[in-house]
Each structure stands twice: as structure tokens, then as C-alpha cells.
Structure 1
Amino acid sequence: MTDTTSAAVAEASRRGRPRGSYAKTEARRHKILTAAFEVFSTSGYRAGSLKDVADKVGLTQAGLLHHFPNKEALLEAVLTLRDEESVSRTGALTAQGIEMLRGVVELARYNTTIPGLVALYCVLSAEATDPDHPAHEYFQRRYNWVRSTMTEAFDELARQGQLRSGIAPSTAARQLVALMDGLQVQWLLDNDSVDMPAEVVAFLEAITTEKF
């Protein structure tokens, strides 16, 4: 189902329900996603079960499946919500040029406040290297999009003379993605010794002429 189709279906469903009923349904869905965050980040996607998620919110598996038709749909909703919340809070990946990169620094700062979601991302992105994993294509698309978006930002810096000589925008983008992912793992292992936003700032200031 395309994003447009999904939106249309959601809107049609929304119009067909009383407002109070819809609000209660959305609240229940949010509780389910919160529980899924906890289960998948602790146990991983394969080991974490729908029963584990349902138990956390006081539902039967049948009740859970009323809101999400299967485990794959629940996983996609969890990942989508994580990305939407991160981008909306920091502006990362929606601005351009230098402002987009400043948003990335804010994203690294925001991530220090959500260790459970960072753990979820790390666990699932590792699991999803298996081509048979249901999130495999999601992470492929996500990495391609993030690298492309960051490359455009570094391209803009190069045009403005803000990228240091000899730095290829595509290489800088790939290195920044790798840095952020690697920092997240190190931070989860020992968050007292890792300052994620400071490390991202140090990298960006090393390859650009700007202050972050």
C-alpha cells in the first residue's frame, strides 16, 4: 500500500468514527507502540512476541491484532513513529545545507534523552541486515534516503565554499551516518564516557569552515 493510499484509508476511517471513539483508539494505539518499543528494544524483533506486547497493555493477542494486523505492521509503525518524532523535534533531514547539519547535531542531542529508542534502532538495524528480515527493505530505503539527503546538504556547503577542500560530499555523508550509528552503540555501552552531540560537532567542524 502506498503512503497516499494509506493516508486516504486512514482519513476515510477517521470520518466514519465518532471523535471520542477515534481519540480512544489512537490512545490505545500509542500505548501499544510504546509497549512494542520496550519489547523490541529489549528482546529484538524476532524474540519479542505479540503476546509480550499485548500483555504489557492488558490486551489479548486478538485485541492487539484489531489495531495492527500482524507483527510486521506493528514493527513498521514503531519505526515510522521513531523517525517522525525525531525529525519533528529536531528539524533534522528537513532543512537544507548548514541548517540541515545543525539539525543533525540536535538529533544527536535528542537521542541522548531516548535510550530505549536508540537501543531499538541499534538492535533492529543489526537484525535487518538479514535479507529475510521484515525490516530489511525499510532500512535499505532509510539509509539510501538519509545518505542522499546528507549528500545534498554537503553539496550545498561545497557550493557556498563551506566544505573544506578535498572533501567529497558523498563521502562526508556516508562518514557522518557511520559516525552517528557507531556513537549510538558506544553510548549505549557506556553513556558516561560518550558525548554524542560533541563528537558530531567535532566531525562537522573538522570537514567544514562553520561552527556548530
Structure 2
Amino acid sequence: MTPGTQRGYAKGRAKRNEILDQAMTLFGEAGYRGASLRVIATRCGISHPGLLHHFPTKEALLLAVLQRRDDVDDEWLALGVTRGVDHLRRLVDLAELNAKRRGIVELFSVVAAEATAPDHPAHAYFEARYRTSVANTERAYLQAREAGELRDDVDPSAAAQQL
């Protein structure tokens, strides 16, 4: 690869990240349906077709924003690979971290509410994310029970759904 190619690649990745940041902010402010690709493009200093080069549809952009957030959280959770009660404590730590990340929390709150509609582009994403989160949390409760760290009257399945 030539140095020019490397710079172009890095520049493209930087622009993609900027688009994701601006989209996260606007989706959090206006919701998915209220956000405009043209506004996101303008905030990034590029044309609408320039944005479409990186993300061919608004749905693709939304899903990339959501996936990016999951990737960041998954990396953070993996730093302290845990089981049982330690995993549950790590989830509390993640909630404390999220309290400091206003934009992504706003995004998730607004888009998750919108995505309850079956025709919303993130509906399937949130359904799958909920199932995975509940399954992982239930597994942590079961591990805690096996280790003798969970009261007998706690139902791991119910507790996971409530958390």
C-alpha cells in the first residue's frame, strides 16, 4: 500500500466515525424517524451522496450506530471476563459508565421506544439484543446459584428479565 492509500483509508475511517457520532447525536435528539440523512451529512461537512457512500440507507446507518455501541460495550465487558455475581457487578459498573455517556443513552432510550413498532428498522435488532441480554444475565444468575452466592428464593429467569 502506498502512503497515499493509507491516508485515504484512515481518512475514510475517520469520516465514517464522524458520521456515526453525528448520527448517534441526532438519533438521540430527534429519534430515528425525526432524523434526516441530509442534516447528518451537513453536520459532517459532506454532501448527502457523500454520506450515502459510507451508509447506503438510513437504516444501515442506524444499525451501524447501534452495532458500534454494542461493540464498545462488549469490549468493555470483556476486559474483566467474569461469571456469576462478578458478571452481575460488572453490569452495574456498565450502568454507571452509561450514566456518563448521555448521547448513547438518549439514542437507546428514544430508538428503543420507537422500535417497539414492528415496522421499525431496529425492531429485530432490539428483540435480538433483549433475548441475548436476558440469556447472558440468566446464565450469570445460574452461575451465582451454583457457587452458593444467590439466595434460593431468587428465580434466575425472572431476575434476568427484571434486570
**TM-score normalized by the length of structure 2:** 0.93
2:128 pairs with 1:141: yes
- Structure 2 residue aligned with 1:97: 84
Q: Give the match's secondary structure for 2:144.
A: helix
Name the structure 1 match of 2:71: 84
The residue number in structure 2 matching 1:33 is 20
Residue 49 in structure 1 maps to residue 49 in structure 2? no
Q: Residue 107 in 1 paired to residue 94 in 2?
A: yes
5+ long unaligned stretches in structure 1: 1-13, 177-212
CA distance in 2, matches of 1:172, 1:157: 12
Amino acid at match of 2:67: T
1:2-26 Cα distance to aligned partner (Å, 9 max, x none): xxxxxxxxxxxx9xx9322211110
Taking a change above 3 Å as real, the CA distance of residues 40 and 33 of structure 1, as seen in their structure-2 partners, is same
Equivalent pair of 1:86/1:110 in contact (CA under 8 Å): no
Tell me which stretches of 4 or more aligned residues in structure 1 moved more than 4 Å.
none
8 Å Cα contact 1:87-1:93 kept in structure 2: no
One-letter code of the match for 1:132?
D
More contact order relative to length (CA 8 Å, sep ≥ 6): 2
SS state at 1:46 partner: helix
Q: Map residues 3-14 of structure 1 onto 2, 5 A cutoff.
A: none
- Mapped contact 1:87–1:94 kept (Cα < 8 A): no
- Does the 8 A contact of 1:101 with 1:153 survive in 2? yes
Q: Map Cα deviations across residues 97-126 of structure 1 (whole Å, 9 max, x no partner).
A: 222112101101101111111010000000
- What SS is found at the alignment partner of 1:18? helix
1:29-85 CA-to-partner distances (Å, cap 9, x unmatched) read 000001001110000000101011101001111000000111011000100111111
Question: 1 CA distance for matches of 2:48 and 2:82?
Answer: 41
For the aligned residues, what is the CA RMSD?
1.8
Identity of aligned residues (%): 42
